[in-house]
Structure 1
Amino acid sequence: CAFSALINQAAMVFIPGKGAVGVSYSKYLADMTLFSGAVVWNLGDNGAIGFGYHSLLSGDIPFTTSTAPTSGLRTAAGLGNYSVTDLAIGPSYARRLTDAFSVGGSVKYVSEGTSGATGIDESITTIAFDAGTIYTTDWHKFRIGASFQNFGPDMQFITDSNIKQTLPTTFRIGFAGEPATLPMGSVMVSAEIWKLREFDSVLNLGVEYWVNEFVAARVGWKAGYSGAEDEGISAGAGFKFDQGNLGIALDYAFTQFTLLDNIHRLSVGVGF
């Protein structure tokens, strides 16, 4: 799908037809909102090019100080709310090296800014790079992939300070395959290990069942990190159908949390 331009660019060469476009909306933790969008064009023997967009909106955050930490004192001091916006946007390219092996990468413009009624509007920018690879086989459609995301220089809000903000550099490696073909559909299992810079590694596991290539049911879970006890199981569904010369895909996913808000994700994809 088109979101490979954001996750593992090497997968863009496997998009059928002329290309695909996708948009995604997530109601994230603590009233944050995540928007994503991507478009990919299949160039045949010349590979595939894409363009991806990520944005994270914090929503209103009460502005407090050491002398006005509560709502009443904030009002008396004339303090309002502020918000934080993160943005990553840029082009991607992928190419087959053999029939089974592909590589890809992207360069991204990354920014983070604060705005609102605080009088301290600030923004910082940098450039980041992604790279990915995928190897496929005919044995149960088994494939293995790896990606390296958000590699780039640190960012600094205050120029005369030694405090810097590092990018969330992430390494992922995973596999997927279809161990069984059922009379009315197929089952795919996947596993992925990802490592976010200074944090512990996380294991992601998932199962997907397609009924007649039309309706899918999905379930997944995480293990091996500090939030695993709070984060519950994830589940979702997908639908695929044709509309003229277009292939339409609709997906929904839900992740349950004990202490934090549950996460809802919606996405729409179109193949052309």
Structure 2
Amino acid sequence: MRTILKIVLIASFLTILFENPLNAGNRKLAQSGFKFLSVSVDARSSALSGALTSLESRSTALFYNPASMSRMDYMFDFSLGQVNWIADIRYLYGAAAYRPMNGTFGVFGVSFVSVDYGAMRSTILANNEQGFLDIGEFSPFAYALGFGYAKSLTNKFSVGGQIKYAFQDLGGGVVGFGADESPQTKKFNVGVLAFDFGILYKTGYKSLMFGMNIRNFSQEIEYLEESFQLPLNFEMGISMNVLDFTEMDTENHKLLVSIDATHPRDYPEQLDMGVEYVFQKTLALRMGYTTPTDEQGVSFGVGFSPTVSGMNMVLDYAYTPFGIFNDVHRFSFNVSF
């Protein structure tokens, strides 16, 4: 009876929290900087449209819900991946997790994300025929480095967090001219500490899981005279293997359904929904959907997970159509032992 009551309370809270905002349209609510921290990098999560808050994961949990890292079964886990983002922007990411003494002391993890925005032309207004003066190229970039920790406090309840340093360099800009009319430039870069925190709860009702996390909590930062905040995001989610309601062999077949309700700082509330079918713990087919969005909506993915000499290797791919922009492709590699 208690379990059913908890499920009802969770579902009711999610409905009340997100019922009205979802009908508000795509009205922008605020602005934030360091938007590279909002892009989903892991191929599995992206194929599920980011609905990973309540799913058990490994080192890549540091990018979503750090608490779910506590439930990994291996001592070591490493992940690497690449995202071919819109406008020829490229992401590289990596994560590693260490679980000493079978999790007695929890799970420790590190993560990194780097962003290459490519080369851009730098110009300033000028009183000439073109109306501008070309002063060369610049190459903006960004990165984030994190250290995380997660622990299962009981066989049902886990907590986790991450502290990370995020840095962004937008190149140099002309801020004035000297007496000889030579341009005076200034570097526009800034770094800040940010925090992530999450919980994961196994309800006890079949395979139903509940998760919650807060990401990118930090102080305000500023470029010159303009201040802004990081893309703070609050997420709640539930997930379950719906084959629990059937008589199918759940050891060889799994059909995970995951739903996340998200509250971003700079966008209306969203629902992320994902479905993952896993055959014999080796082949995974995935699909996700996010609403509301400006361009992206449906995502697809596939994963292959063989076990060789005691090592579990995972190859994941995700594909996201992106409207008027280029389609987005994500590739991930993971190994655990």
TM-score by length of 1: 0.90
Q: Does 1:135 align with 2:201?
A: yes
Partner of 2:291: 223
Partner of 1:16: 73
Q: Does 1:32 align with 2:89?
A: yes
Partner of 1:268: 333
Q: Where do residues 1-272 of structure 1 align in structure 2 (5 Å cutoff)? A: 1-43=58-100, 44-67=103-126, 77-115=133-171, 119-158=185-224, 161=225, 163-180=226-243, 182-183=248-249, 185-225=253-293, 227=294, 230-272=295-337
Give the distance between the partners of 2:127 and 2:119, measured in 1 at CA: 17
1:17-58 CA-to-partner distances (Å, cap 9, x unmatched) read 212110111000111111211101113121111011122221
1:146-168 CA-to-partner distances (Å, cap 9, x unmatched) read 1101101122222xx2x113111
User: What's the C-alpha RMSD, in Å, of the aligned pairs?
Assistant: 2.2
Question: 1:138: how far off?
Answer: 4.3
Q: Residue 98 of structure 1 aligns to a residue in which SS? A: coil
Question: 1:73: how far off?
Answer: 6.2
Instruction: Report if aligned partners of 1:203, 1:222 keep a CA contact under 8 Å in 2.
Output: yes
Give the distance between the partners of 1:224 and 1:117, measured in 2 at CA: 36
Give unpaired runs (5+ residues) of structure 2. Answer: 1-57, 175-184
Question: 1:232: how far off?
Answer: 3.7
Give the distance between the partners of 1:51 and 1:147, measured in 2 at CA: 18
Q: Residue 46 of structure 1 aligns to a residue in which SS? A: coil
Amino acid across the alignment from 1:173 = M
Higher Cα Rg: structure 1 or 2? 2
Question: 1:237: how far off?
Answer: 0.1
1:199-230 CA-to-partner distances (Å, cap 9, x unmatched) read 211111111111111111101111124x1xx2
Amino acid across the alignment from 1:199 = Y
Instruction: Report if aligned partners of 2:121, 2:134 keep a CA contact under 8 Å in 1.
Output: no
Question: 1:120: how far off?
Answer: 3.9
Distance of aligned partners of 1:164 and 1:116 in 2 relative to their CA distance in 1, 3 Å threshold:
closer
Q: Which has the higher strand share?
A: 1
Give the distance between the partners of 1:25 and 1:116, measured in 2 at CA: 27
Q: Residue 110 of structure 2 aligns to a residue in which SS? A: strand
Q: Which has the higher helix share?
A: 2
1:87-122 CA-to-partner distances (Å, cap 9, x unmatched) read 111210111121100001011111111237975433
Instruction: Report if aligned partners of 1:150, 1:170 keep a CA contact under 8 Å in 2.
Output: yes
Q: Residue 151 of structure 2 aligns to a residue in which SS? A: strand
Instruction: Report if aligned partners of 2:122, 2:134 keep a CA contact under 8 Å in 1.
Output: no
| % identical aligned pairs | 26
| Number of equivalences | 263
Q: Residue 135 of structure 2 aligns to a residue in which SS? A: coil
Q: Residue 335 of structure 2 aligns to a residue in which SS? A: strand
Q: Residue 257 of structure 1 aligns to a residue in which SS? A: coil
Give the distance between the partners of 2:145 and 2:121, measured in 1 at CA: 28
Q: Residue 270 of structure 1 aligns to a residue in which SS? A: strand
Q: Residue 24 of structure 1 aligns to a residue in which SS? A: strand
TM-score by length of 2: 0.73
